[in-house]
Amino acid sequence: MAKQKKKKKTNTTCTDNLDVVEYEGWKIGQKVWCRRYPSNDLACGPIKAITAEGPEPHFTFIDKFDGSFRLALFTSIIPVPSHSMQQKLDTVLARQARQIKTIEEKRALKAASRR
């Protein structure tokens, strides 16, 4: 029996079909510092979607600390991050940059050794 063709996945953005674009002055795409739900860890990143329904309004965002898609409550937003919070993010971003650099160097060495 012949294989069926796979359907091509289409890229959709989450902002195309959202009802709520703003909540209490916070807009989609705005960078926000907050505490993640439910772990209460420090996080920051741009808001991707807002959900105002339910007992507690919340939003989803991409965390710059680990690059994952996270959820946080509007009550956990930190309006003005402290200097130590900003230093923590700078440290994480510097570590990620070093890791990318070492990966690229390893790939270059591997490609050079194949020649």
Beta strands in the chain (DSSP E): 22-23, 26-27, 31-35, 42-51, 58-62, 69-73, 77-78
What average pLDDT does the structure give for the chain? 87
User: Residue 23: its pLDDT value, please?
Assistant: 86
Mean pLDDT of 66-82: 92
Task: Kindly tell me if the per-residue pLDDT of 19 is higher than 90.
Answer: no
At residue 89, does pLDDT exceed 90?
yes
Q: How confident is the model at residue 115 (pLDDT cuts 50, 70, 90)?
A: confident
CATH 2.30.30 fits 16-80, yes or no: yes
For 77-84, what is the mean pLDDT?
93
